[in-house]
Each structure stands twice: as C-alpha cells, then as structure tokens.
Structure 1
Amino acid sequence: MNWLAHEMRLVLRSRLSACALLLLLLLSALAVWSGMREVERQRQTIARLAPLHEQDVAALAARYPDSKDAGNPAYYTFYNTWDPPSAAAFLALGLRDVAPYVLRIRALGLQAQLYEGETFNPEVALPGRFDFAFVLIYLAPLFAIALLHDLVSGERQTGRLRLLLAMPDAGRLWRRRAGLRYALLFLCLAVPACVGAALSGTGIVATGIVLAVTAACLAFWTGLSLLVATLHWRSVTNATVLMGAWAVLTLVLPALANVALIRAIPVHQGVDLMLAQRQVVHGAWELPREETMRKFVASHPEWKDHTAVPRRFHWKWYFAFHQVGDESVAGAARDYRGGLLARQAWTGRLGWLLPGVGAQAVLHRLAGTDLPAQLAYQDAIAAFHRQIRTFYYPYLFNDRPFGTADFARQPGFVPRVPDGMPGRDGLAALLALFVLAGAVQLAGLWRLGRLRM
C-alpha cells in the first residue's frame, strides 16, 4: 500500500485538490443537514395539526350541539390531510418544496380545494432547496473536473510526463491516480449521506441505491474528464472544454428539453381547474334546482327518492351542486393528470442520455418527492373526500339531526405510507444511468491506458 500513501501525499500537496475535497465534504454535510432540518420542520408542522383539529371540532360541537341537520357541521368542519415525508426525503426534497404536503379540506367541491396550493410566488420557488441531490448533480461534477482536468497536462507542463510514460506499469499508475481521486470524491459525498441516512432511519436498500447513484454520477464525470485530459491539450483548455460540457449537460440541454416538452405536451395549470369548477358552482345559483338535482342523481342514484328540495335554501341542494361542479371538470382533471404523467415519462427517457436528469429521477423517486408521489397524495385526499361526503349524505338527504355524538363519528384521514423503494421506473432509470456512466468511464480508462507522448 506504499503507492496509496504516496499518491495521497501528491493529492494533498496540491492546494487546489485539498481545498476542493474539503469544500465538497463541507457542502455535502451542509446539504444533508439542511435537508434533514427541512424534513423535521415539515414533520413538526404535521404534528401540530391533530390538536388544532380537535379544538376546531370541539368548538363546532359546542356551537351546534343539537343541529336539525348536518349542513352547518358539514360546511364549517375542516379536515386535515397530510403527506408525511419518507425517511429518505432529506436527500431530495423535490416537489415538497412547492406542492402542499398539508391540506385542509371540507365536504364542498374538491377540485377547488386541491389546487389552491398552486398560488405560490414563482420567484420564491425558483432557487429550489439546497439538498444532497443538488450537490450531487450540479456541484460534484465541478469538483471532479477540478481534480482530473490536469491529470496528464500537469505532468507534461512540469516535464515529468515522458518519464512516467517510460515506466513499465505506466497504465496502472494512471488508473491508480484516477481511481484515488474518484474514491476521494465518492467519500466526500457518501459519508455525509450515510450519516444522514442512519440518523433519519433510511433503510439499507435505499441507502445502497443512493450510494449507487452517487457512484454512477461520479463515474460519468470522471470518465468524461479522463477523455478530455488525454487529448494532449493544455490544462486551461481541458478545464474550459469540461466546464462547457458541464454547462451543456446539466443546464442547457435539460432546459431546452423542458421547453420542448412544454410545447409538445401542453398542460393547463391546476388553477384553471379550480376556476372552472368554481364557475360551475357559482352558476348553479341561477339554475333551476330540479336540473341540479337531476345531474346529481345521475351519478348518485341511491338518492333518487330524496331529491325533493323546498323553495327555501336547503343544504342537500347546496352540496349537490358542489358535487356537480366537481363532475363537470372530471374530464379536464383526467387530461391534466395525463399530461403531467406524459411529461414525467418523457423526462425519465431523457435521463437515459443525461446523467443529471437520470440521477435526479432516481433520487426523487426513492425519496417519494416526485410527481407520482404528489399525485398519490391527491388520490388519498380524493378518497378521503368521498368518505366525508358519504358520511354526511345520509344526514342531509334523510333530514336527520346532527348532534354532539355525531361529531365523534366523523371520519379521519389515514395518510399513505411511503415504501422507500424506487419502483420499476426508478430501477429502469438507475440501470440506464449505470450503462451510460459505465460506458463513459471505461472509455476514459481505455484512453488513459493508451496514453502516449
């Protein structure tokens, strides 16, 4: 192992290399700490929901102890829903930075409530969160370039290259040097990630996948740096070319692909669904009540014998046209969801060619912070909303009184439990990332072994 100690001394003797490794270690640790802090803040926010909900229900029960119908309790009762973060969410916060992970809903129309969280300030959301995925995808390649761009040209400029190439095991020497720098970069990223995974309770399999993604990303940029480093250019030229490649592969091409996807698969915002649903709901006040109840019974035939509405205001008519409003935009909601999933599918295919996009897809899927996870949360909300309406309809349509004891029988939300696994799409993206990174890494090592003056 004398060669290892000797090569380590050479790396640490270079002020640029030593500072780069230390800085990468600090950035990785800071990103992990920042992600864990944000996840803990979200968990504390969720934990504060239960006592607040109990206080609201107690206040309503005291306000309407013996209501003649369930209209007032159904209208004024808010129900908490929440999407708990997974154990690996600290690594890649994804859509949890902009999409709501806590939503209070009522028995009214659902679509108008689902997308109220989209009214955030885009300038605030633009920078994103500083998490491990950001360091791995955007910053780690720069450190790989810093350590490897002058691997050969630096020796040429100091006059030692001819002597090194004359050694009988010159190819092994170059591979050792490249492998040591790769291992040091990997440790600077893997150690903070493993510590964070242990503290957050991330499973062994999930942690192993994170390390595999990290290794693959570094392998790609190490191989690309070796390919450029063996082209007999000066160190400044190598660095310039590699920085250009980094800008194109991580910034320019993903941005252009995103613009192309937006143009090829146009998708309206969820706010449009909210406005369309509210327009139908507000317009129902001007329609004959019989027409509204006829539309409602078409999807709820079990209440066809209880649709008689007096001329005065009645709660069952009010909740019926909210339900009709949801049904009027059901097709648009399916198209909206289908467009988002189509974009997601093409983004996954883009990851087969761009390592940053592929790594991001795997990490977000593993952390449960991508689009499918957000849609799964919306599905859980929709199922709970149906449960709420099913609970109130017998009271409303049968004109049953709603007393204090009925508040205790109100349904409660059961959140989904993240499985912490990447799924089929995540495994496919991981396999594609391995193939791409392995090909580039092998090409770089092959070029390094055939190095000549």
Structure 2
Amino acid sequence: MSRLTFELRLIVRSRLSIAALLLLLLLSTLAVWSGMQEVERQRQTIARLAPLHEQDVAALAARYPASKDAGNPAYYTFYNTWDAPSDAAFLALGLRDVAPYVLRIRALGLQAQLYEGETFNPEIALPGRFDFAFVLIYLAPLIAIALLHDLVSGERQAGRLRLLLAMPDAARLWRRRVALRYALLFACLAVPACAGAVLSGTGVVALVIVLAVVLILIAAYLAFWTGLSMVVSARGWRSVTNATTLMGTWAVLTLVLPALANVALVRAIPVHQGVDLMLAQRQTVHGAWEVPRDETMRKFVASHPEWRDKAHVPPGFHWKWYFAFHQVGDESVAGQVRDYREGLLARQAWTGRLGWLLPGVGAQAVLHRLADTDLPAQLAYQDEIAAFHRRIRAFYYPYLFNERPFGTEDFGKRPAFAPRAADPLVPWGDVFAVFVLAGVVLGAGLVGLRRLRVEGAD
C-alpha cells in the first residue's frame, strides 16, 4: 500500500498528469450534464406540444361542427407522434441530434411527411453534440497518451531506467504504475457516467444493465489505449517520438480509417436520401390530377378490396378520390422505401463488423444502441408512425367511402398515438468485440514491458 501511495504522490507532483486527469474529469462531467440537459429539453418539448395539439383539434372541431363528410376534418387534422428519449440517451445522442423526434402527420401521403425533417442545414449538423460518447471515443485516448507515453522514456532520460530495471520487482513496478494511471482514467470517466445514470431516473433493472455495460465498455476501451501506449513505450524511443507515434495512431484509428470506411460503404452500398422518396411520392400525387380517376380507383381497390363496391367516384371533386391517390402515391414508392431501408441496415451491419477492427467504432455503436439513439431506433420510430398512419386512414375511410357525416363527437373518436417503450438493448456481440480487441492489445503491452525487463537485465 505504501508503494502505491508513493506512485500516487509522483502523479500528483506531475503537473501534466494532474492537469490531464482533472481535464478529463471536467470534460466527462460536462458531457454528462450536457446530455442530460438535452434529454430534458426534448422531454419538455414533447410535453409542451401535447396541449397545443389538443387546442388545434378543438379549434378545428369548432370550425367543422357538422360536416357532410370527413374530407375537411381528415385533410386539416394533424396527429402528434413522438419518440421520447430513453433514460440512457444522455450518454450518446446519436441520430436524435438530426432526425426529428416529434412529427405531426395527416391522413395524406405518408412518405412525403416522413422525410420533410431531412431538410436540415448540414453545416450545423456536422460538429455533432458534445456528449459522453464523444469524450470517451475521441478525448479519453488523448489523456491516456499524455499519461503513458513517457512511462519508460521519461525514466531513461532522467538516468534512472537501468537502476529501476535492476530492481528485483521491476516488472511489478511497471504494472503498478500502469494500473494506477489506468484506474485514475477509469474513475474520471466512470464516476460522471454512473452519477448521470442514477440521476436520470432509470429503473433498478435497467440501471444495473446500463451501468454494467458502460463500465465494461469504459474499461475495455481504456485498456486498448493503455496497452497500445505500453507497446510503443517499450520500443525504447524518446518521449517525443512515443507521443508523435501514439497521436498518429489515434488520428488513424479514430478519424482517418472510420472516414475511409464510411466512404467505402457509401460507394459499395449506394442509398438514396429520404428526400428522394419524398419527391418521388409527391410527383406521383401531383401527377394523379391528370390521371383518369377510374384508373386511380382501380389501383386503390387492388390493395383495399373492402372498398371495391364503394369505389365509384361521381363527377366533380370527391374526397375519397383525393385520399385514394395519396394512398396510391405511397404504394408507388413502396419498393424504393424497402430498398432504402435495406441499404441503411446493410451499412449499419457492416459498421458493426468494422467495430471488430476499430475500437472507437465498436464502442460508439454500443453506446448508441444502449442509448436507443442509433439507426434501428430511428427506423423503429418510423415503423410506429407508419402503423399509426394506417390507423388514421382506417378511421377516416368508412366516413369517406360511406359518405357518412362527421361531427364534433367524431373528433373524440380519432385514434391516439401510443409510443413504444424504450428498453436498454445490449449489443453483446459489439461489447465482446471491443473487449477481445482490448485484451489482445493490452496483452501485447504487458509482454512488451516484460521484454523490457529481460533486455534490461541482459
């Protein structure tokens, strides 16, 4: 214990080491606080919109107290949908930073409404949010490098290396120094993350799962960079050379290779933007005004045979024809929608495989899945919207095709959106990949320090 206390005093006396640790603790605390603030802001936005939506519906009901049909109420009534953030969303905001988490839809064509949220400014979205995932993936390795790059070279430059290697417990000395720095780095990241998980109001079971995965991930990711630092330190280079090599490796593993892999995935699996689906659907809808109405109704009843006997459209404008060609517009891009989603999921699958080689990619995938802020979460929200949109159309079709009047009391019968429950889903395969990669590199680092002891003895 006295030896460990002595090593801790050496770290405290080093201004660079103590400043680096305090900076990491400050950054991780600010990241957790920032993430929790953003999650709370999103929840308040969702709660604030609910009464405003009811006011809009009440005003619309007062405007159309006794309509001859449901055309006007169906056209003007909006329905709120929302994707509430999970309790662990503060760890990694993911796609919630750019994808809509609140969307108002109508009984009109769905695809044109789903992807209107993609018209954001890419320059604003590029930097991303400052969250815990950013600190862990990009900043924590830099602090680890600052603490470990001169572990051996610093002693050599001070003229103490031969003396230390001649000691009978030299191997234990290196392991003790590495373990102490590793523990301090782990504490600077784990304490704020655990505090945030507790303060987020997560249930007991979910809290245990989230904390276990986060702590394992932090330990594994830091172990990778600790092992890599030991591998470089054991080469016998100068401190500047060690730092330059490790910084270059950090840039390649966290910036260059992920960017190149993303470019390769984009070219290997081309996927059109959601805006393209919106434009294709709108072109079909706008072109329907020039298509014979009987042809439009034939396409509609092909997927809705229950309204075959009611598909006749009288001369002039009729609401059931109008909503029918919106339905046909959605069906016309169904194949493109399927290809779009399959392409996105294929890219996601290959990104997960990339995590077996790049620990930063794997760790980020784990945090986004755990926080329910990744691509599958966004697609699940879109699936909820699509299912709710079918309920909205099924609600209005009997009024439109049977030409039933729609009054104030019918507004109270409209369907209500029920969001999905966000449960923590742990991608154990990705966690295992990061763990294995970290174990291999950490083992190589320990072997490097052991060889250093043997070479010193020789």
- TM (normalized to structure 2)? 0.98
Aligned letter for 1:239?
A
For residues 411-449 of structure 1, give each alpha carbon's deviation from its aligned partner in whole angstroms, at most 9, with x where no partner exists. 000001111122xxx111100110000110111012112
User: Partners of 1:243 and 1:138 in 2: how far apart?
Assistant: 11
- Partner residue of 1:111? 111
Instruction: Determine what percentage of the aligned residue pairs are the same residue.
Output: 81
- Of the candidates 241, 246, 259, which is equivalent to residue 237 of structure 1? 241
For residues 80-119 of structure 1, give each alpha carbon's deviation from its aligned partner in whole angstroms, at most 9, with x where no partner exists. 0000000000000000000000000000000000000000
Local SS of the residue matching 1:103: strand
Q: Is the 8 A contact 1:174 1:449 kept in 2?
A: no
- Partner residue of 2:411? 407
Local SS of the residue matching 2:104: strand
- Partner residue of 2:60? 60
Aligned letter for 1:147?
L
User: Partners of 2:108 and 2:168 in 1: how far apart?
Assistant: 79
Runs of 4+ in structure 1 deviating by more than 6 angstroms, as ranges, are none
- Partner residue of 2:9? 9
Q: Residues 54-93 of structure 1: matches in 2 within 5 Å? A: 54-93=54-93
Q: Is the 8 A contact 1:172 1:449 kept in 2?
A: no
Give unmatched runs, 5+ long, in structure 2. none
- Of the candidates 343, 346, 354, which is equivalent to residue 342 of structure 1? 346
Q: Residues 39-54 of structure 1: matches in 2 within 5 Å? A: 39-54=39-54
User: Partners of 2:101 and 2:254 in 1: how far apart?
Assistant: 28
User: Partners of 1:5 and 1:157 in 2: how far apart?
Assistant: 24
Cα offset for 1:201?
2.3
Local SS of the residue matching 1:450: helix
For residues 303-360 of structure 1, give each alpha carbon's deviation from its aligned partner in whole angstroms, at most 9, with x where no partner exists. 0000111111110000000000000000000000000000000000000000000000
- Partner residue of 1:449? 450
For residues 129-155 of structure 1, give each alpha carbon's deviation from its aligned partner in whole angstroms, at most 9, with x where no partner exists. 000000000000000000000000000
- Partner residue of 1:35? 35
User: Partners of 1:307 and 1:205 in 2: how far apart?
Assistant: 54
User: Partners of 2:217 and 2:315 in 1: how far apart?
Assistant: 65
Local SS of the residue matching 2:90: coil
Q: Residues 120-269 of structure 1: matches in 2 within 5 Å? A: 120-202=120-202, 203-269=207-273
Local SS of the residue matching 2:368: helix
Question: Aligned pair count?
Answer: 450
Aligned letter for 1:431?
F
Aligned letter for 1:50?
A
User: Partners of 1:79 and 1:210 in 2: how far apart?
Assistant: 37
Q: Is the 8 A contact 1:108 1:323 kept in 2?
A: yes
User: Partners of 2:82 and 2:267 in 1: how far apart?
Assistant: 33
Local SS of the residue matching 1:48: helix
User: Partners of 2:42 and 2:147 in 1: how far apart?
Assistant: 38
Local SS of the residue matching 1:231: coil
Cα offset for 1:50?
1.2
For residues 204-249 of structure 1, give each alpha carbon's deviation from its aligned partner in whole angstroms, at most 9, with x where no partner exists. 1111101111111100000000000000000000000000000000
User: Partners of 1:215 and 1:101 in 2: how far apart?
Assistant: 32
Q: Is the 8 A contact 1:316 1:396 kept in 2?
A: yes
Local SS of the residue matching 1:249: helix
- Partner residue of 1:428? 429
- Partner residue of 1:275? 279
Aligned letter for 1:167?
M
User: Partners of 1:294 and 1:405 in 2: how far apart?
Assistant: 33
Cα offset for 1:375?
0.2
Cα offset for 1:128?
0.2
Cα offset for 1:450?
2.3
Q: Is the 8 A contact 1:89 1:367 kept in 2?
A: yes
User: Partners of 1:339 and 1:59 in 2: how far apart?
Assistant: 42
Aligned letter for 1:29?
T
- Partner residue of 2:22? 22
Local SS of the residue matching 1:81: strand
User: Partners of 2:373 and 2:146 in 1: how far apart?
Assistant: 31
User: Partners of 1:178 and 1:23 in 2: how far apart?
Assistant: 19
Aligned letter for 2:336?
A
User: Partners of 2:291 and 2:29 in 1: how far apart?
Assistant: 61
User: Partners of 1:251 and 1:94 in 2: how far apart?
Assistant: 17
Cα offset for 1:44?
0.4
User: Partners of 2:60 and 2:236 in 1: how far apart?
Assistant: 78
Local SS of the residue matching 1:86: coil
Q: Is the 8 A contact 1:171 1:450 kept in 2?
A: no
User: Partners of 1:173 and 1:44 in 2: how far apart?
Assistant: 53
Aligned letter for 2:63?
R
User: Partners of 2:127 and 2:13 in 1: how far apart?
Assistant: 36
User: Partners of 2:243 and 2:369 in 1: how far apart?
Assistant: 33
Q: Residues 299-448 of structure 1: matches in 2 within 5 Å? A: 299-422=303-426, 426-448=427-449
Q: Is the 8 A contact 1:96 1:369 kept in 2?
A: yes
Aligned letter for 1:42?
Q
